[in-house]
A and B are shown apart, each in its own frame.
Chain A
Amino acid sequence: MADYRWPEAGKRSLIGKRISRLDGPVKSSGRVKYTYDVDRPNMLYGKMVLSPYAQATIKSIDTTAAEKMPGVKAVQVMREPGTEILWAGQEVVAVAAETEEQARDAARRVVVNYEKLPHLVRDVEPAKAGDRAKPAAEQTEGDPDKAFQEAEVTVEGQYGCSVITHCCLEAHGQATEWEGDNLTVWASTQNVSGIGGEFATGLKIPAGNVRTLTPVMGGGFGSKFGADTWGVACAQLAKKAGRPVKMMLERDHELMVAGARPSIHAKVRVGAQKDGTITAWSSESWGTGGMGTGGSPRLPYVFRIPNQRKRHTAVLTNIGPVRAWRAPNHPQLCLITMAALEDLAAKLGIDPVEMFLKNIGMTGELSKVYAAELQKAAELIEWQKKWHPRGDKAPGVIKRGLGISLHTWGGGGHPSNCACAIHPDGSVEVSLGSQDLGTGTRTVIAIIAAETLGLPLEAVKVNIGDSHYPQSGGSGGSTTVGGVSASTRRATTNALNELLAKMAPSLGVENDQLEAVGGRIQVKGNPSKGMSWKQACAKLGTTPINATGQTSITTPTGPSARDLISSGVGGVQMAEVAVDIETGVVKLEKLVAVQDCGLIIDLKTAESQVYGGCIMGVCYALYEEKIMDEQTGRCLNPDMEFYKLAGIADIGELVVHMMTGPGYDERGVIGLGEPPVISSGALTPDKVLAALEKGGAA
């Protein structure tokens, strides 16, 4: 049984170092081709006809005029007459033409008749939603009535956040090309190994006939797992036209339909003892996630308050389809909980750091991690020096306040297969049907392979982004780094062991007496006895070594990857925010993010993930909102001028600190994509309040 465990701290040559992402130069210089850049010979462009109504039945579709437009080569009806439309922007017909402009012009010539139906697009409270309000079951733990009666202090408040979108840098979409019954799809997807099956089902061809290619992609954040209606339509257009077709969503369509994050609003009551011990929680929450009800949100967040009562109502609206948004539900729940707890601390007149530490036991098994992170974050933001009770007494119209937030996430690895080939010329390939969303997956795989084989980073060729490579999971829920780390470690260890077994006889030792270090195969404890990597590989003759490794989640206790990866992280963020009390304009001045994620493979890309998460959090805390018009049922800001995102000048100073070393490293690799975005958005609203209260009104 091979030993796959990670090398000990002193024996890591690459793992945990600060390594620049391998594809940085080709991305920043524009040499690498994204799906958007795909340009196949003879390729057509697809555009779609979208419903202008939020809820309607399609009565008839006439494509005659569109088919006669210049350059049009194929028209595909995506939703037949009789189908119900559930949001404005839903796709009805797709058109392929020689140029994008011709396709756009032709799409406007399609005549669709609708029967308009009543809609609701506004994020209203249940009382204003009529039969679209769907109450979930009430949940109770402990004895909240008694706990509130006995509470020495209670605080009430209402908190919430709007529906926002994913707003990926690269829009959704794909290029498709047929060769007989075989389809190649260049897709901007988080799920290279998985979406082929969806295309196959939609097109009624065997799954094995679909090949998906995603060498690089421009972000997904949870919104790019499926083939999508436009993916299947694109392939249908290509089939009809007998030519490749590319159909990417326009920015407005992207913001209208390519994913929304549900809103949440809650009336919260929290009870506590005067010493700051939290004893009771009650919340009445509501929100909209489109036409689905979803579940009951798991409030309160992170803190397992002993006595709780929670009621939630889903409001069904035609805002568009909900898709998983980086750490689904956590940012919303975090905002509600942290805002309420900070209000409690203010009412108690206690420093919130002190109150959070006092109740840290309620965070469960991560409580020690949180305590350490709270102290580190407080130190980095100079909490003791800067914190003041609510109401900034400083003169002037700019008032400042500090805030604090805790978050958690799982991040265990997904199933993954890796194939490692060691060629007689000494070159090494590792291949996985995984994808790099921009997070650094490619770099992490290379680091692990190189570390395992004792080679420099550039000696390893990483093959990902092709469904012909061994199956690997979709990139969701921060599962990728765990999945690919374990499978790569196993595949490369297996390959190395085969090589060592072949070398051992000529060196006159047993296999386990050999090691691969610094580009050499040598006898442990006797480095002079050995040979270079190249010399060793040359002895393979004409037969390369091919080995595989697997991360399986189906055998958690068996010979799985549990020795390499785990799950469950905590993070603490603190922010300093300034508000202009005459204009209400809020500015983030400084944000400190302290995060653990087990053993870090690449410190630089890990920090980069946290920076990105913080920026995304600042965007939705301060600016983002999918603005819907009840009269027309439409999204009014499907553009980059009124769907507001922070620019560099709006972000403020970000300080990232990763918790590493003893106590963290031995947990193995844990995912990091989701955690850092959760708290950042929760930080600002309370901070504004903290600055404003008694300081003036906006």
Chain B
Amino acid sequence: MQAFEYAHPRSMTEALPLLGSRWGETEILAGGTDLLSLMKNYVVTPKRVVNIKGLRELRGIRGTPEGIYIGALVTLEELRTSQPMHEYPALAQAAAGVTSPQIRNMGTVGGDLCQRPRCWYFRSGFGLLARDESGRSLVPQGENRYHAILGNDGPAYFVNPSSLAPALIALGAKARLDGQNGERYVALAEFFVIPKSDAERENVLQPNEILTHVIIPEGAWELSSATYEVRQKEALDWPLATAAVALKMQAGKVASARIVLGHVAPIPWPAPEAEKSLAGQPINEATAARAGEAAVQGAKPLSGNRYKVQLARVAVKRALLAAARPRSIGAKGGV
């Protein structure tokens, strides 16, 4: 690990000027579950690390007239167990899908959204876009069993690793980004971007900004929501495909639907065709399966990940069926 300067600000006013204007110079430390291994492996080599755990304003979950404010430092475990989250099963279930208590207790909401891809070429030092010396991507001809099946026209083939993003996007959440010139709000659906060069990042956050809150809009509690993850293991394991759904039901039929896939594309992947297929329909095995089929219509599997198309299809179907089931009292989350 390269030697670095360590800053421990006590307030946002102290923290923001400590951030650099260029990516790579400064890294933000919250739970540390991702950053430390990136630094140990020299994938990132910041000159300064800014620990934001001292920023009290980034903690806690609170209700406001605009909706639920979730602080960036709220842990996955708090999210999974807190009372207000029982109204948003998709989110609590997504947090529960991180089946390591250690990671849930250290990992934060902000960290989950801003963590770097798990692509093994990136982690082995071949850059975000996994290119060899000639600039060619290693992924299409390489070991791509865990890579993208959607949004993979290149040059990015990694999958977005966030556990929470699909559920948050399905619920219509937005992110609050704070910088020295004030704050801005970005719909989470627009927060993630597919980088076109190694100099770009996987989201619209600027190097001198901090993601401080996630806001679930007022009224989202009315939605029937669920997250379904397909994982190889029950113990801590990255999902192979995830689907988060949020349905507005009227008289047993779908008035509107949001369906977002995770771990299948460089960004959380919306499925508008699947959403449309459900309009005015009840949720049953047939309509859910049809939506699953529509969600993967545009999939273009790589040499080693055709299986993920089927998993994404099934994830959508099972998430829909779960969302349509009557909500249990005191939901514990889990899939």
Interface residues of A (CB under 8 A from B): 101, 104-105, 108, 252, 582-585, 587, 622-623, 627-632, 634, 636-637, 639, 641-642, 644, 646-650
B185 to chain A, nearest CB (A): 33
Residue of B with least CB distance to A397 = B314
Q: What are 6 A-B contacts with C-beta separation under 8 Å?
A: A108-B42, A630-B142, A631-B132, A637-B120, A641-B237, A644-B237
What residue in chain A is nearest B236 (Cβ atoms)?
A647
Does B138 make an interface contact (CB < 8 A)? yes
- In the complex, residue of chain A having the shortest beta-carbon distance to the beta carbon of B241: A583
Q: How far is the CB of A492 from chain B (nearest CB, A)?
A: 44
Tell me what chain B mostly uses at the interface: helix, strand, loop, or mixed: loop
Complex: how many Å from CA A644 to CA B231? 12
Q: Given A583-B310, A583-B314, check contact A644 B120 (CB 8 Å).
A: no
Q: In the assembly, what is the distance between CA of A644 and CA of B132, in Å? A: 26
- B238 is an interface residue with CB less than 8 A from chain A: yes
**CB of B96, distance to nearest CB on chain A (Å):** 13
Are B143 and A629 in contact (CB-based, < 8 A)?
A: yes
Q: How far is the CA of A644 from the CA of B141 in the complex (A)?
A: 23
A561 to B146 Cα, complex, angstroms: 54
Question: B189 → chain A, closest Cβ, in Å?
Answer: 27
Whether the Cβ atoms of B143 and A627 lie closer than 8 Å is yes
Instruction: Chain B residues near A650: list those with CB within 8 A.
Output: 233-235
B311: Cβ under 8 A from any A Cβ: yes
Q: A104-B1, A108-B42, A583-B310 are in contact. Are A647 and B234 (CB under 8 A)?
A: yes
- Do the beta carbons of A623 and B236 come within 8 Å of each other? no
- Distance, CA A649 to CA B233, complexed state (A): 8
**Cβ contacts under 8 Å, A583 to chain B:** 230, 310-311, 314
Does A644 contact B146, Cβ atoms closer than 8 Å? no
- B118 close to chain A: CB less than 8 A: yes
Chain B residues with CB under 8 Å of A108's CB are 42
The 6 A-B residue pairs whose C-beta atoms are closest, nearest first, are: A647-B235, A649-B234, A636-B120, A582-B314, A583-B230, A650-B234
Interface residues of B (CB under 8 A from A): 1-3, 41-42, 99, 118, 120-121, 123-124, 126, 132, 138, 141-143, 146, 230-238, 307, 310-311, 314
A631 lies within 8 A of B1 (CB): no
Establish whether residues A585 and B118, one from each chain, have CB atoms under 8 Å apart when the complex forms. no
Q: Identify which of B3, B42, B234 gathers the most chain A CB atoms within 10 Å of its CB.
A: B234
B118 touching A641 by the CB < 8 A rule?
yes
Whole-angstrom distance between the Cβ of A315 and the nearest chain B Cβ: 18
A residues near B232, Cβ cutoff 8 Å:
585, 622-623, 644
For residue A642, which residue of chain B has the nearest CB?
Answer: B120
B239 to chain A, nearest CB (A): 11
> Contacts A105-B2, A629-B138 given: A584-B307 contact, CB under 8 Å?
yes
Known: A623-B233, A642-B146, A649-B99. 5 other contacts (CB 8 A): A105-B1, A629-B143, A644-B233, A646-B235, A649-B234
Measured in the bound complex, the distance between the Cα atoms of B42 and A258 in whole Å is 22
| Contact call B99/A629, Cβ cutoff below 8 A | no
CB atoms of A105 and B138 under 8 A apart: no
- Contact check, B124 vs A634: say whether CB atoms are below 8 A apart: yes
In the docked arrangement, what's the CA distance between A622 and B235, Å? 13
User: In the bound complex, do residue B138 and residue A632 qualify as a contact, i.e. CB atoms below 8 Å apart?
Assistant: yes
Closest CB-CB distance, A450 to chain B, in whole Å?
A: 39
The majority secondary structure among interface residues of chain A is loop
Cβ–Cβ < 8 Å partners of B3 in chain A: 101, 105
B230 neighbours in A (Cβ, 8 Å)? 583, 585
Complex Cα spacing A628 to B232, Å: 20
How far, in angstroms, from A641 to B121 measured CA to CA in the complex? 14
User: Which residues of chain B come closer than 8 Å to A647, judged between CB atoms?
Assistant: 99, 233-236
Q: In the complex, A628 Cα to B237 Cα: how many Å?
A: 20
A646 pairs with B138, CB closer than 8 A: no
Q: Chain B nearest CB: distance from A5 CB in Å?
A: 47
B124 touches A632 (CB 8 A): yes
For residue A100, which residue of chain B has the nearest CB? B1
Bound-state Cα–Cα, A584 to B120, Å: 23
B132: nearest chain-A partner, CB-CB: A631
Rounded to whole Å, the gap between the CB of A31 and the closest CB of chain B is 23
CA distance A104 to B42 in the complex (A): 10
Q: How far is A641 from B37 in the complex, measured between Cα atoms in Å? A: 12
Asked if B142 and A631 sit within 8 Å, CB to CB, the answer is yes
Distance of A332 Cα from B233 Cα, bound (Å):
23
A163 to chain B, nearest CB (A): 14
Give bound CA distance, A628 to B142, whole Å: 9
B238 pairs with A641, CB closer than 8 A: yes
Q: Give the docked Cα–Cα distance between A584 and B309 (Å).
A: 12
From A104, A636, A646, B124 is in contact (CB under 8 Å) with A636
Cα distance A639–B3 when bound, in Å? 23
Give complex CA distance A648, B101 in Å. 13
Residues of B within 8 A of A634 (CB): 124
Q: Which residues does chain A contribute within 8 Å of B124, judged by CB atoms?
A: 632, 634, 636
Q: Are A631 and B138 in contact (CB under 8 A)?
A: yes
Taking CB atoms, residues of chain A closer than 8 Å to B1 are: 101, 104-105
Least CB distance from B139 to A in Å reads 10
Q: Is the CB of A582 within 8 A of B132?
A: no
Complex interface: chain B residues within 8 A of A636 (CB) = 120-121, 124, 143
A648: which B residues are within 8 A, CB to CB?
A: 235
Q: A105-B1, A108-B42, A642-B120 are in contact. Are A649 and B235 (CB under 8 A)?
A: yes
For A630, what are the chain B residues with a Cβ–Cβ distance below 8 Å? 142
Rounded to whole angstroms, the CA-CA distance of A529 and B1 in the bound complex is 72
Q: How far is the CA of A108 from the CA of B123 in the complex (A)?
A: 17
Q: Please, which residue of chain A has its CB at the minimum distance from the CB of B1?
A: A101
Tell me how far the C-beta of A398 lies from the nearest C-beta in chain B, rounded to whole angstroms.
13
- Cβ of A642 to closest chain B Cβ, rounded Å: 6
Q: For the complex, what is the distance from the CA of A108 to the CA of B230, rounded to whole Å?
A: 39
Q: Write the chain A residue with the least CB distance to B240.
A: A583
- Please indicate the chain B residues that have their CB under 8 angstroms from the CB of A649 in the complex: 99, 233-235
User: Which residues from chain A contact B120 at a C-beta distance below 8 Å?
Assistant: 627, 636-637, 642
Instruction: State in angstroms the CA–CA spacing of A507 and B1 once bound together.
Output: 72
B residues less than 8 Å from A629 (CB atoms): 121, 138, 142-143
Q: Which residue of B lies closest to A648 (CB)?
A: B235
A599 to chain B, nearest CB (A): 37
- How distant is the Cα of A269 from the Cα of B3 in the complex, in angstroms? 60
- Please give me the residue from chain B that is nearest to A104 by CB atom: B1
**Chain A residues, Cβ within 8 Å of B132:** 631-632
Give complex CA distance A252, B40 in Å.
Answer: 11
Considering the complex, give the chain B residue whose CB is closest to the CB of A70: B3
Q: Which of A582, A631, A646 contacts B141 (CB 8 A)?
A: A631
Contacts of B310 in A (CB 8 A): 582-584
Q: How far is the CA of A104 from the CA of B99 in the complex (A)?
A: 32
Q: Which residues of B contact A641 (CB under 8 A)?
A: 118, 236-238
User: Shortest CB–CB separation between residue B1 and chain A, in angstroms?
Assistant: 5
Say whether B143 contacts A646, CB under 8 Å: no
> How far, in angstroms, from A608 to B121 measured CA to CA in the complex?
39
CA distance A479 to B146 in the complex (A): 42
Chain B nearest CB, measured from A534 CB (Å):
50
Q: Which residues of B contact A622 (CB under 8 A)?
A: 232
Give the distance in Å from the alpha carbon of A252 to the alpha carbon of B146 in the complex: 19
Bound form: Cα–Cα A636–B144 in Å: 11
CB distance from B35 to the nearest CB of A (A): 15
Which A residues are in CB contact (< 8 Å) with B314? 582-583
Query: In the complex, A636→B118 CA distance in Å?
Result: 11
**Chain B residues closer than 8 Å to A101, beta-carbon distance:** 1, 3
CA distance A108 to B2 in the complex (A): 10
Shortest Cβ distance from residue A113 to the other chain B in the assembled complex, whole angstroms: 15
Q: Are B238 and A646 in contact (CB under 8 A)?
A: no
Residues of A within 8 A of B234 (CB): 587, 647, 649-650
Query: Shortest beta-carbon distance, A564 to chain B, in Å?
Result: 42
B123 cross-chain contacts in A, Cβ below 8 A: 639
Q: Please give me the residue from chain B that is nearest to A627 by CB atom.
A: B143
Q: Of residues A582, A639, A646, which shows the largest number of chain B Cβ atoms within 10 Å of its Cβ?
A: A582
Alpha-carbon distance A105/B132, docked complex (angstroms): 24
Residues of chain B contacted by A646 (CB below 8 angstroms): 233, 235
B297 to chain A, nearest CB (A): 18
In the complex, residue of chain A having the shortest beta-carbon distance to the beta carbon of B100:
A647
In the bound complex, how far is the Cα of B138 from the Cα of A583, in angstroms? 27
* Separation of A634 and B235 alpha carbons in the complex (Å): 26
